[in-house]
Every structure is written in C-alpha cells, then in structure tokens.
Chains A and B, each alone.
Chain A
Amino acid sequence: MSTHNPQAAPATDTTRIHNIGYRSYDGPRLGRAYARRSLFSQSLRGAYGLGRSAKSKVLPMLLYAVMCVPALILVAVAVVGKQSKLSIEYTEYAIYLQMVIGIYLASQAPQSVSRDLRFRTVPLYFSRPIERVDYVLAKYGAMASALFILTASPLLILWIGALLAKMDFWDQTAMFGQGLVSVALLSLLFGGIGLVMAALTPRRGFGVAAVIAVLVISYGAVSTLMGIAYATENTDVIPWLGLFSPITLVDGVQTAFLGAPSAFPDGAGPGSGAGVVYLLVVLALIAGSYGVLMRRYRKVGL
C-alpha cells in the first residue's frame, strides 16, 4: 500500500506518497491450514480453561476430575479385590455419568462460540485466510475432541486398571475399543448439539440454559414415557421412544452394534433393525448440526 509507483502517477501531479521506510512482510506466510490448526488448538485448550484465567479453569477441571474419580475407584476395587471382570462395562460408563457430560458441554460450548458472537470478533477471524468451513470445522472439531478427552480418559483408566488386575488382554482391549467408538460417536453428537444451541445466542448464560434444557428435557421426557410404557406393558414402543433424546440414541446404537447392555427399562434396547435407524438418526443429527452451523455463520457479525 505504501509503495510509490512512478509509472502510474501523471507527470504534472505533485502529490506523492513518501516511502518512509516501512518494510513490507516478505517472510513465509503460514496460510489457511495453519490458521485452522491454531483455531482448533486454541478452542480445545480453551475448553479446559488452558490459556484462560485461573477462575475459568476450575469448572472444567473439576468436571474432568468428577468424570475420572469413579473409574479410579472401580479400578482400585478390581485390583484389590482380584476381580475377574470390571463391575461396569466400558460402554455403560458415559451413560451413567451423562449428567456430568451434559454440564461440561453446557458450560464450555457457549464459551467457545458465544463470546466471539457477542464481542463481534467473528469478522476478525474471517479477515485471516480462513473460510467459513474452516471456522466451523475447527470449533466443531475442538468441542468434539474436548468431549472425547472427557469421556475417553475414564475408559483408559478402566482399561489400564483391568490389565493391572490381570484380566484377559484381548477381551478387555476389544471392549475398550467398543467403548471408544461409542464415546467418539457421543462426542460428535453432543458437540454438534451443544454448539448449535450455543451459536444461536450471543448471551453466554442463556446458551448454557439452552444446551442443558435440550439435553435434560429430552432425556427426562423420554425416560418418563419409557417408564410409563413399561409399567403399562407397551414394551413394543420402548425402543422407538429412545430416538427422541441424544443420550438414549447413543445407548441404542451401542446396544445394537457394540454389544453394550441396554439402559432402557427391562433392557429392551433396539435390535439390529431398529439399530440401523438409530445410527442413521445419529449421523443425520451430526450432519444436521454441521449444516446448521455453516448456515449460522454465513452472515454472522457483519
């Protein structure tokens, strides 16, 4: 901008821009992939409060600890008691602690996207060489990875504990793998839902309430209806009711395909046929949240 171009200026024109010696940057440009990676790692670190104030580290770290402590206790019991199998399946773990995962998501998803919207910093991101798809992918990827770290760490503890207790290596590893697949699916699903709810509002507090409301209300409604259906012996409808809340969706998929015990009343989880529907709904929700996020950021903050 500041360089003077003698050819273009007419000879009679006496105005000129003095070159006062600022050098333009001619080093390497790190480009789009680097910017995307940085946004991803910043968002992932931010989800655990790293690089933020001490106060904002408290809640995510506390929830991480709450997530891991039951696994440590289970492992300690298994090692000391010389059990031949863990008292909980890998796949059941996240279902039992769903409330902790929900609160973590509700507290971290809004901090990841709402503040950018509220302080109108989104245009600044897009003044860098990143596109809309990079921003959405980085934020979605970071949220899903943060959830995966939260849900996979206790499984890792359980697996190491199981090996320490001299349980069968291949058995445990296979079940550990199934657990990892299940929590990966859960992380993608929950991350998408959380980010969509949070991206709809610039108010952090309201975002928190919206995320938790969607998770808790849908689960509360579904489990109430399941309980009623079970009590009135309409057991046929139970597997289909599970389609209407995120956590029962994950539960249904892992019951059908990952050999997990069902948390539905009477263990009436879906079979393979209904399981395909569950898997399709989960994948559609993941793709849907990606689509909604892309739409949301099409005209944002300008």
Chain B
Amino acid sequence: MYNPTVARLTYRALLGRRRAALLFLLPGMLLVIAATIRLLNGADDQVAADVLGGFALATMVPLIGVIAGTGAIGPEIDDGSIVYLLSKPVKRPTIILTKLTVAVAVTMVFSAVPTLLAGFILNGNGQQVAVAYTVAALVASIAYSALFLLLGTVSRHAVVIGLVYALVWEALFGSLIAGARTLSVQQWALALAEKVTGEGLISSEVGLTTAVVLLAAVTVAATWFAGHKLRTLTLAGEE
C-alpha cells in the first residue's frame, strides 16, 4: 500500500524549489513571533496558549495542510501529467495512500515541530502547553491532509475551497455560530490538547471521544473517497 517511487516524486513536487520557501516561511514567522513575545513580555502560560492556539493551530496548520494536501496531487491533475502515473500498474488507492503519507509527513514536520519549538521558546513547556499543542498539530495534520488531498482530486479549485474552509468556516463561522465549531478539525484537535494540559488553559467545544471518532471517520472516509475518485478520474482541459 506504499509505493516508494510515487513517494519520492511527491516529495520532490512538494519540496522542490520555491514551494519549500513558502513552507519554511510560515514556521519561521511563528518562531520569530514567539521569540519577540518572549523578549517583550517574558514567559506567560496564557499568552503562550493564545499564540499557539491563535496563530499556530488556527492559521499555520490549516495553511500548511492546504499547501501540502492539495499540492501532493493537485498540480499533477491540473497539468494532466497524472495520466503517466495512472497508466502504471499501481493501484489507485495505493497512489492516494502514498501521497497521503507524504502530505501528512510534510505537514507534521512543518507544523508540529515549529509548534513544539515555539512552545518551548514562549514558556519552556509550562503546564505542558507546548506538548499539548504539538499533539493537536499532529492529529490535525493527519485530518487536514486527508481532507485537502480529497479536495485536490475532486475540484480544480481545491486550494480556494480548502482556504475557504480553513479561514472562513473555522475562523469566521466558528466564532459566530457555536454549531460550526462541532464540525471543525481545529476543535477536534483542541479536544486532545485539552486532555494533555488539563482544564483551564485550553478549551474545546467537543468531547474527547467525539473528537477522536470524528477525526478517524473523516480521515478514513476522505482517503477512501479520494481513492475512489481517482479510479473514475476524468481529465478536463483548462477552461
């Protein structure tokens, strides 16, 4: 279910040249902000939780998820070179699983690692804040990658749709309508973070069990459907 050649090609597509610059820019920004705040303000658990929650988990993880998830398959479908991959004797679900593995790995490396570092810079992992948000970033990476990989196979406007979900649905509707928060990867990941750090600093709208079940369900369903979609893919020209 894992094809090293497909994985190697996907890594190169994701990390080649300028693409990687954008992936480095976001974590770099987070670390700079963390260092600035630590210098201006000193260590504070609540500030650390706010920055990690507001910037790292709410903005950085979804954006990297969009770039890695759709970038793993979108450009290939877009320019039609996916046919060379599809014409090889490799199962379509294998292709999807391999690309998902790569996307998850890239998202984790570029989001969870900087989150952990930023957490240590901000308050030296006081009250397990850094670890909690790292766990949240790790699980969110899996779900986001699966979701956005699916989008990449479904639509040509995958990046825009992914951004609308990440920025408008989770950020805007999430803050206005309480119900939208139940259906948000970010809140599911926060439920796990809440479990790690205990009550107080981090709060999530959903219970732990619900969160885990929904995370697993979304990941599996998205991956299965992406595999199915790839089996019946029709290539369309540029409009």
B167 CB within 8 Å of chain A: yes
Specify which chain A residues have a CB less than 8 angstroms from the CB of B29 in the assembled complex.
Answer: 217, 221
Which of B19, B47, B71, B164 is in CB contact (< 8 Å) with A228?
Answer: B47
A231 CB within 8 Å of chain B: yes
Specify which chain A residues have a CB less than 8 angstroms from the CB of B18 in the assembled complex.
Answer: 200-201, 206
Nearest opposing residue in chain A for B32, CB measure? A221
Contact: B66 with A228, CB < 8 Å? no
Specify which chain B residues have a CB less than 8 angstroms from the CB of A55 in the assembled complex.
Answer: 239
Which of A56, A205, A231 is in CB contact (< 8 Å) with B71?
Answer: A205
Contact: A99 with B55, CB < 8 Å? no
From residue B14, how far is it (CB to closest CB) to chain A in Å? 11
A53 CB within 8 Å of chain B: yes
Binding-face segment, B4-12, B33-41, B181-189, B208-216: B33-41
Specify which chain B residues have a CB less than 8 angstroms from the CB of A203 in the assembled complex.
Answer: 75, 78
From residue B183, how far is it (CB to closest CB) to chain A in Å? 19
Nearest opposing residue in chain B for A58, CB measure? B157
Specify which chain B residues have a CB less than 8 angstroms from the CB of A200 in the assembled complex.
Answer: 18
Which of B37, B67, B160 is in CB contact (< 8 Å) with A106?
Answer: B160
Question: Count of chain B residues with Cβ under 8 Å from any Cβ of A?
Answer: 39
From residue B71, how far is it (CB to closest CB) to chain A in Å? 7
Interface centre among B79, B160, B172 (most CB of A within 10 A): B160
Contact: A205 with B41, CB < 8 Å? no
Taken together as a complex, chains A and B put the C-alpha atoms of A59 and B172 apart, in Å, by 19
Q: In the complex, which range does the number of interface residues on chain A fall in? A: 35 or more
Taken together as a complex, chains A and B put the C-alpha atoms of A6 and B167 apart, in Å, by 72
Contact: B172 with A220, CB < 8 Å? no
Specify which chain A residues have a CB less than 8 angstroms from the CB of B163 in the assembled complex.
Answer: 103, 106, 208-209, 212
Contact: B167 with A99, CB < 8 Å? yes
Nearest opposing residue in chain B for A62, CB measure? B164
Nearest opposing residue in chain B for A237, CB measure? B40
Q: A115-B238, A224-B33 are contacts. A107–B168 as well, Cβ < 8 Å?
A: no
A216 CB within 8 Å of chain B: yes
Q: A103-B163, A200-B18, A224-B33 are contacts. A232–B172 as well, Cβ < 8 Å?
A: no
From residue B145, how far is it (CB to closest CB) to chain A in Å? 15
**A152-204 contacts to B (CB < 8 Å):** 200-201, 203-204
Taken together as a complex, chains A and B put the C-alpha atoms of A55 and B171 apart, in Å, by 27
Taken together as a complex, chains A and B put the C-alpha atoms of A180 and B170 apart, in Å, by 31
Contact: B59 with A220, CB < 8 Å? yes
Contact: A217 with B51, CB < 8 Å? no
For chain B, what secondary structure do more than half of its interface residues adopt (helix, strand, loop), or is it mixed?
helix
A229 CB within 8 Å of chain B: yes
From residue B67, how far is it (CB to closest CB) to chain A in Å? 5
Specify which chain B residues have a CB less than 8 angstroms from the CB of A216 in the assembled complex.
Answer: 59, 63, 167
**B189-231 contacts to A (CB < 8 Å):** none
Nearest opposing residue in chain A for B17, CB measure? A201
Nearest opposing residue in chain A for B47, CB measure? A228
Q: A213-B22, A221-B55 are contacts. A52–B239 as well, Cβ < 8 Å?
A: yes
Contact: A205 with B159, CB < 8 Å? yes
Contact: B40 with A217, CB < 8 Å? no
B70 CB within 8 Å of chain A: yes
Interface centre among B36, B50, B159, B164 (most CB of A within 10 A): B159
Which of A59, A217, A225, A229 is in CB contact (< 8 Å) with B157?
Answer: A59
Specify which chain A residues have a CB less than 8 angstroms from the CB of B60 in the assembled complex.
Answer: 217
Contact: B70 with A103, CB < 8 Å? no
Which of A106, A204, A217, A231 is in CB contact (< 8 Å) with B25?
Answer: A217
Which of A103, A213, A225 is in CB contact (< 8 Å) with B63?
Answer: A213
Q: A55-B239, A213-B26, A221-B55 are contacts. A205–B78 as well, Cβ < 8 Å?
A: yes
Specify which chain B residues have a CB less than 8 angstroms from the CB of A204 in the assembled complex.
Answer: 78
From residue B35, how far is it (CB to closest CB) to chain A in Å? 12
**A37-56 contacts to B (CB < 8 Å):** 52-53, 55-56
A210 CB within 8 Å of chain B: yes
Which of A56, A212, A220 is in CB contact (< 8 Å) with B239?
Answer: A56
- 11 cross-chain CB contacts under 8 A: A99-B168, A99-B172, A206-B75, A209-B159, A212-B63, A213-B25, A213-B63, A220-B59, A221-B33, A224-B55, A228-B37
Interface residues of A (CB under 8 A from B): 52-53, 55-56, 59, 99, 103, 106-107, 115, 118-119, 200-201, 203-206, 208-210, 212-213, 216-217, 220-221, 224-225, 227-229, 231-232, 234
